Structure 1
Amino acid sequence: MSTHEGTLFDGLGEPDASLPSGRFASEKVERVLQWFTRCAERSNLEDRFSSVLRQSIDEVLDGQRTGRYDLKDLSKTEKTYLGTKVEIVCQNEFGFSDGSRMDYKISGVDVDAKFSLTGEWMIPTEAMGQICLVMSADDEKSTFDVGLVHVAEEILRGGANKDSKRQMSASGRSAIRWIFKSGRLRRNILLGLNDEKKRLIFSGSTGQQRVNNLFENLLGQMIDRTTVQTTARQLDAPKRVRDARRHLASKGIVILGHQNESVRVASALGIAVPDKSSWISVRLVPAEGRSGYGRQVEINGSWYVRARDDDPAFPAPAVAH
């Protein structure tokens, strides 16, 4: 298997030949790596790691209460806690048992979980000689890295911080057996918006107005529950979406979900079908008299196409969501 971005590595990356022979081709690393390989055969491992990291980041940001969607807004204490959150969510996702000395027991091997936003992992004294599952995430680039490393003196820098933790050296990073390098992290929708879009969305004085703005200004983009809750700073995302449907209907905007007529309408128009707890908005106009507009959909006996920017607003057809 080739080693490319977003792909499960097959024990990849041979250890740096300049490092002590055999030190990093540890049998324990191989056993844990094989566990993840077998796991990938049962399910989509990349999606599972993406969900672990996305959930951990979103829970620490706590957007529904704080309105935050950028990790730069976290305090130093919160950034430290993010590592603990990743450790907990990862264990819950994969069902790891507790380790004897480290965080997890995987295929009979003690494994310590280490997360870093920068990929500069700090290794504690007690992890010496142990296996670490190293994880990092770049929310702006929507990527993540996950790998395994056997901690030894040769992979660490000399100086320690006040907690006696030492940073992995540049040559030590070459000892990491990558499971994913630049895996696909589920996108942080609000973080990726330009300033004008953010201004349009957050100009609403109430949570419902901001959610209305969200679906009006992000036509054709998949919107998840966390994005709705962060925008509204309220918990009940489905209700906010239901109300947005009513408020935006006069502008021809329909908000499609994951069930009933939504699935048929999205498929007919050639747009992504939302999964559970996601929505996508589209502005429709009657198809009659409009040529070259692309795919059409029949709703309640009439035909509609996706509107262009300069089309006047027509009332949206009623879709059974």
Structure 2
Amino acid sequence: MLEALDPTGVRWAAVVRHTFDMIYNGQETGRYRWDQLMKTEKTHVGTLFEINAQREFKFSDGDATDFRIAGHQVDAKWSQADGGWMLPPEVFDELALVATGDDSRSVWSLGLVRVTEDVRREKVNRDKKSQLTRAGRDRVRWLWRDAPLRPNVLLQLPADAVARIFAPRSGTQRTHQLFREAEGRIVHRNAVATVSQQLDHQKRVRYNGGSRSALQPEGYLVLSGMYHRGLAAALGVPVPLPDEYVSVRVVPAAADLGVQIGGSWWRRALPGESVLVPAPLLPERGTGAA
């Protein structure tokens, strides 16, 4: 049933991505990685994962377990360490939906295992929770294993680039620097919120004072996944989803050898190539592509 609800895993991947972003709470804290969290926050991730999964899939409540799925009692368990799931007595002899993820590697995993006596350790902690044995971990039926997770651009960039992004005191200037450093990479709106740390963070991207205006003299276009997917594909950069952006540095091109924007031809600038002409104004609704 789980595979039927989400054949490609895209919905589960969104649950994991949302769980990480919620616990970082970047808009208020500026955090974007696991080691920046407090111990108490780390222990709360499993609860957020459970809540987000139930919201996404509308699972019924279980009796003693978290969910009832296709008539089975199922308990959701998250562990940042692969195999480190803590299993309470209420899941003994029931199904555990075990999950893990690594934001730095942009991967996640989700599987099912029945927590019978022969697959769990005899030793329990003060809360009477146990863990799977090695044989138990081998018994997990992985529905998705190291599946792609939408990337966290702040974990993909070199440390010196991230330092330059966070160096300015102004959230607006930090946002501009994000699009400079992340040229050609997908930037989720949560990364913009984390860097700007302002309630109106999407305003920091637009024209009229946002990054599109500020970076235009430097040859940058900041493409929206809502309106400029066709332009992104034509310019040879990753195509953003509706809640993502991608910045690209452009230079004038010979006719028919680039992309036509605003009546002129443009191509992506080569690494190290000087930009002598400001980038063109972006059309509001892209080039007709979705």
| Structure 2 length-normalised TM | 0.91
Number of residues paired by the alignment? Answer: 279
Judging changes above 3 Å, is the alpha-carbon distance between structure 1 residues 166 and 37 closer, same or farther for their aligned structure 2 residues? Answer: same
Aligned counterpart, 2:222: 255
Q: Could you say what the CA RMSD is over the residues aligned between the two structures, in angstroms?
A: 1.7
Q: How far does residue 312 in structure 1 lie from its aligned partner after superposition?
A: 3.1
Report the alpha carbon displacement of residue 259 of structure 1 after superposing the two structures with TM.
4.1
Partner of residue 114, structure 1: 77
Rounded Cα–Cα distance in structure 1 between residues aligned with 2:159 and 2:276: 26
Q: Which amino acid aligns with 1:164?
A: K
Contact 2:153–2:182 at 8 Å: present in 1 too?
A: no
What's the CA shift string for 1:26-76, capped at 9, x where partnerless?
xxxxxxxxx1232235xx3x1111110110111011000000011111111
Whether 2:249 is the aligned partner of 1:287: answer no
Paired residue for 1:186? 150
Q: Structure 2 regions of 5+ residues with no counterpart?
A: 285-290
Do 2:226 and 2:243's aligned partners in 1 also have CA atoms closer than 8 Å? Answer: no
The one-letter code matched in structure 1 to 2:135 is S
* Cα displacement (A) at 1:248: 0.6
What's the TM-score once normalised by structure 1's chain length? 0.83
CA contact (8 A) 2:182 2:247 kept: yes
User: Any residues of structure 2 matched to 1:85-234 within 5 Å, and which?
Assistant: 85-119=48-82, 120-234=84-198
Change (3 A) 1:295 1:183: farther
* 1:265 Cα deviation from its structure 2 partner: 2.4
Shift of the alpha carbon at 1:224? Answer: 0.7
Structure 2 counterpart of 1:14: none
Unaligned runs of 5+ in 1: 1-34
Query: 2:238 is matched with which residue: 244, 259, 272?
Result: 272
Aligned equivalents of 1:311, 1:280: Cα separation in 2:
20
Give the drift of 1:288.
4.1
Identity %: 39
CA distance in 2, matches of 1:306, 1:240: 23
Q: Which moved more, 1:294-303 or 1:199-208?
A: 294-303
Structure 1 counterpart of 2:264, from 271, 289, 302 = 302
